[in-house]
Amino acid sequence: MEDGDHQDVGRRATENAVRTSYGRLLAYLARQWRDVAAAEDALSEAFGRALEIWPTQGVPKNPDAWLLVVARNRLRNDARARKTREQIADSLLILTPTETEDMPAISDKRLELMFVCGHPAIDAAARTPLMLQTVLGLTAERIASSFLVSPDTMGRRLSRAKARIKDTGIAFEVPEESELGERMECVLETIYAAYGQGWDSAGSDDQTRKGLTEEAIWLARLLVELRPNDAEALGLLSLMLFCESRRAARQVNGNYVPLAEQDTTLWDLPMAQEAEEKLRAAGGLKQPGRFQLEAAIQSVLVHSRLTGADMRLPTWTLYRLLTEKAPTIGNLVGLAAATAGVHGPEAGLKELAELPEPVTRDYQPFWALKAQLLQQLGTDQQATAAAFKRAIGLTEDEAARAYLIDKSTKKAG
């Protein structure tokens, strides 16, 4: 193998380790040292050294163990710089995790770290972003974009949250049942946000976002295992399985294909069936919630495509219920699209116009829907072109951008 090829192998191995091991290693280190920021710094140094060493000396047989040793050494060196050797020994005894026989078994410490990040002592606005960064390795810039705030604002928010974990001594463990439910909503939101990041990265070269869909589904399955009678955990898993079942049909030969035009023979029907079963199980628990409604919308859309039945009215009804329970910008735009399907493009545009401009300014789905509804009306070419231009400019996926560019050249009809 040529030197260049050898270095490429090492570089790819490092990138793969970042994608597959970051959250697991960070959760392990943070649990031992009770300091998320210090664990992040140590792990970052470990990945940096790997990128320097592995391309020339080869990838170790156990990359995770190699990374863990380097990170631990960095943490211990930092501790020695702050404390005497005796103080370090005492501190490490205090920091040693304790286990009890009645503690719920969790095979991966990432879920524990998510519950730590969802602790009530942490600012509510920082909980989901903190989970996305620490557990799933997303950058502050990427998270800031998703939450429509500046990177500086998000960076400060995350730093304060990490300091709060260290200063308050939040236990790195699964909460008691009485406390677990309080943090579940935040954990569910984060898992879904992670899935959305992975879903949107289909045409992206961002390695840290690839594989997030699989990670999110795995974490949702773990939650269901932990709380089998939690209807919203089942609903979230159902929702993601419905979406994932259509992955192969979403891009064909590099071209983006919207749901209404997808080849259903490319769908993973067994996965869609599992999603339907999880949704039915959730419904049987009589605990209605946001994720069950979203999963129900996906179920209706799948049924419509597979049978040809007109399900526009049920979809609109479900979206109305959803926005009453969770009036997020994404759900409100979805309602506008459903309204347009039932009552025409003018009605959909009217609902879009009622959404707050600061929130919609950089929200790509808003502009994509507005452009297509304006195009259907065919009465304002200038406004239509401007909306398409904005939607295209906000689209990161190359295939989706090409689709919108092609749509923008079509005539109303």
Report residue 92's pLDDT band, with 50, 70 and 90 as the boundaries: very low
Query: Pick from 309, 341, 373: which residue ends a domain?
Result: 309
Q: What percent of the chain has pLDDT over 70?
A: 81
What's this model's pTM, rounded to 2 decimal places?
0.71
Give per-residue pLDDT as tens, 177-189: 666 666 788 889 8
pLDDT at site 3: 54
Q: What is the tally of structural domains in the chain?
A: 2
Judgement on whether residues 335 and 374 belong to the same structural domain of the protein = yes
Is pLDDT at 103 greater than 70 in this prediction?
no
Same domain, 324 and 404: yes
pLDDT at position 6 is 56
Please list the residues that pair with 256 across neighbouring strands.
251
State how far the Cα of 128 lies from the Cα of 119, in Å rounded to an integer: 11
Do both 262 and 281 map to the same domain? yes
Q: What is the pLDDT of residue 314?
A: 96
Q: Does residue 320 share a domain with residue 299?
A: no
**Residue 316 shares a structural domain with residue 302:** no
173 pLDDT higher than 50: yes
Q: What percent of the chain shows pLDDT beyond 90?
A: 42
Provide the phi-psi class of 378: left if phi over 0, else alpha when psi is between -120 and 50, else beta.
left
| Co-location of 348 and 387 in the same domain | yes
**Domain match, 244 and 342 both:** no
Kindly report the average pLDDT of the chain as a whole number: 82
Q: What is the pLDDT of residue 20?
A: 67
Of 309, 336, 362, the one marking the end of a domain is: 309
Q: Any idea which of 17-26, 190-199, 256-265, 316-325 has the lowest mean pLDDT?
A: 17-26
Q: Which domain holds residue 381?
A: 311-413
Residue 94 lies in a domain: no
- The answer on pLDDT for 1 being more than 60 is no
